Structure 1
Amino acid sequence: MAEKVTPKKIITESGDYILSETCSNGKSSVVYIADFLSAAESSTLFDQIQQQVTFESFTNTFDGVTELEPKQIAWYGEHPYTYGAVTHEPNMNWPSALQSIKTKLEEQINCDLNSVLCNLYRDKHDYVSWHTDGEPELGLHPTIASVSLGETRQFVLRRINNNKENNDVTYTFPLCAGSLLVMKGATQQDWEHCILQETQECQPRINLTFRRIYPPNHTGTD
């Protein structure tokens, strides 16, 4: 049964968590599985990704300022994907390691996924600022499944409020190696998320965010 979480909670236990529910958008929920991969599986996949995937730096625009994103990225998917000033063209040359974890993930969450954004956080200076995965090509209520490898980093969700009255409503998931976090329902409409910058030295982290991308001009409501 899904658990309703309270403001400013740090979540480390596996479970199905309800973040919020509104009449307009419906339920926002997160599934967290701390041990989706064993320690051995996680370590092996981390090494395979490093060998098989070429990560690149991309320039994006944040609050009117154009600069390099503080992480490196690789994209695989059958359709283009645009966020901010960055467009990733279709890339169907999936490495074997990504194909393998994609199959395992689809069986776990019973969802058809056709794309993955691979993120490399090299050290304590790399992070991702507050945002939603709310691009039109993801559909109305996208399922975003995130597999973490390497260093543990702090993933924070914050309630979106135009009046900034509820910005103190946050949930933090310390995403450890081998963990899986799945955002579902209206989470991308009612919540935003980030990976915090660290104050202490840390080792690299690889994050694989699987999703389903729809072709341009898609009119469905998935």
Structure 2
Amino acid sequence: MAPTAPVARNVAPAGTRQAWMRKDQIHTQKQFVFEKPSEVERKVPDAGVIDKPGVYELSTLPTGISKIHLIPGFIDSEQADWIFEQLLQDIPWGQRTHIRQEISFEEPRLTSWYGELPYTYSRLTMQPNPSWHPLLTMLRERIEEFTGYTFNSLLCNLYRNEKDSVDWHSDDEPSLGKNPVIASLSFGATRTFEMRKKPSPVDDFLQKYPSSCPQYLLPNISDQLSLVKHEVCSFRKCDIPVSKEENGDYTYVERLRIPLDHGTLLMMEGATQEDWQHRVPKEYHSRDARINLTFRIVYPESEGT
């Protein structure tokens, strides 16, 4: 029998196969490793200042246009001086007591209510008082003539000094109806009226995740974004953690500062109470007394809802 010819075999040198597999594994690992993108840095926006007369559109959202109208000198200085002294003496000012979580505390200001209907805010009800002071009636009619609105109620506030204040809130009680109009007339010391925009889920999503959504979806992002209060935001198939704002953190929202001088009228209209909050904060420096008259339209509860 003829000897069998040797068969050529393609055998890799010792160690080569293992080396190739290691390179392949390394390549595969690099190909499928995803690094978590760094979080977009957000800066706390500076508060804007509104101190010039005019109409200002603060925001336009699905709820409507939020608008304010600032009219400094609506009551001239000489008249305002006399009105301030009369109101300070004649209005039956009182300090209301709140009870929250079984703890009672007094409002850091004095108030008085005028109107044929009761008014409830912060779970505190002020009883009807149809006996308007003649001076308040005159001021109401003057504002009605200027604005074209008719008001039937008035909440008076007296800030005795720099320590008196009112905390963040919206005038959105059911008895005020949808998109209430508030006319705020100030006398006495200048105090800063602050406003802040309520956090919008859409705005917050775009700020925190600017590259997370395909561009063609952005026009309809309001329809795509759904909120789950205590769990996640779901955008199509992506789960986005609930933002700080949805948990009550207003750090990054828009803010405004409006100095309200002696005799100044401020109108709040449209969706302002729906989309914004306001307050009069305590001051660090000494302040004299300030009276603020907030005219409004109150409906019976069944009509306002």
TM norm structure 1 = 0.92
2:256 and 2:100 map into 1 onto residues whose CA distance is: 24
Secondary structure of the corresponding residue to residue 70 of structure 2: strand
Equivalent in the alignment of 1:91: 129
1:101-145: per-residue Cα shift (whole Å, max 9, x none)?
Answer: 001010111101000000000011100000000000000100000
- Residue type of the partner of 2:61? T
Which stretch shows the higher mean deviation, 160-169 or 202-211?
A: 160-169
- What residue ranges of structure 1 are gaps of 5+ in the alignment? 1-5
Q: Distance in 1 between matches of 2:281 and 2:196?
A: 12
- The two structures have a TM-score, normalised by structure 2, of 0.67
- Classify the secondary structure of the residue corresponding to 1:218: helix
Percent sequence identity is 37
The residue matched to 1:217 in structure 2 has which SS?
helix
Q: In structure 2, do the counterparts of structure 1 residues 88 and 97 end up closer, same or farther at CA, with 3 Å as the change threshold? A: same
Any gaps of 5 or more consecutive residues in structure 2? 1-44, 200-244
- Which amino acid in structure 2 is aligned with residue 33 of structure 1? I
Distance 1:124 1:217, change over 3 A: same
- 1:215: how far off? 1.2
Q: Separation in 1 of the partners of 2:60 and 2:46?
A: 14
**Alignment RMSD, CA only?**
1.7
Deviation at 1:50, TM superposition (A): 1.5
CA 1:132–1:63: 2 relative to 1, 3 Å: farther
- CA 1:47–1:128 in structure 2 vs 1: closer, same or farther (change >3 Å)? same
Change beyond 3 A, Cα 1:62–1:207: farther
Query: How many residue pairs get matched?
Result: 214
1:196 matched to 2:235? The reply is no
1:74 aligns with 2:159: no
Q: Higher helix share goes to which structure?
A: 2
Flag the 1:21–1:76 CA change in 2: closer, same or farther, 3 A: same
User: Does 2:291 match 1:206?
Assistant: yes
AA partner of residue 53 (structure 2): S
Are the aligned partners of 2:169 and 2:277 in contact in 1 as well (CA < 8 Å)? yes
- Change in 2 beyond 3 A, CA 1:36/1:194: same
Structure 2 partner of 1:11? 50
Q: Which residue identity does 1:29 align to in structure 2?
A: K
Work out whether residues 159 and 167 of structure 1, in 8 Å CA contact, stay in contact via their aligned partners in 2: no
| 2:292 aligned counterpart, secondary structure | strand
Higher strand share: 1
Please list every run of at least 4 consecutive aligned residues from structure 1 whose deviation after the TM superposition is greater than 2 angstroms.
61-66, 162-168
Equivalent position SS for 2:303: coil
Deviation of 1:166 after TM superposition, in Å, equals: 6.2
User: Among 266, 286, 291, which residue is 1:181 paired with?
Assistant: 266
SS in 1 for 2:65: strand
Q: 1:22 aligns with which of 47, 61, 66?
A: 61
Q: Distance in 2 between matches of 1:32 and 1:63?
A: 38
Task: State the SS of the aligned residue for 1:13.
Answer: coil
Task: Give the superposition deviation at 1:54.
Answer: 1.0
Cα drift, residue 9 of structure 1:
1.0
Aligned mates of 2:250, 2:279 — CA distance in 1: 19
Once the two structures are TM-superposed, the CA of residue 65 in structure 1 deviates from its matched residue by: 4.6
- Could you tell me which residue of structure 1 aligns to residue 143 of structure 2? 105
**Amino acid corresponding to residue 197 of structure 1 in structure 2:** K
The question of whether the paired residues in 2 share the 8 Å contact of 1:8 and 1:168 is answered with no
Q: Which residue of 2 aligns with 1:125?
A: 163
Q: C-alpha offsets along residues 45-87 of structure 1, whole Å, 9 cap, x if unaligned?
A: 1011122211000012468753100000000001110001210
SS at structure 1 position matched to 2:79: helix
Alpha-carbon distance in 2 for matches of 1:185, 1:160 = 15
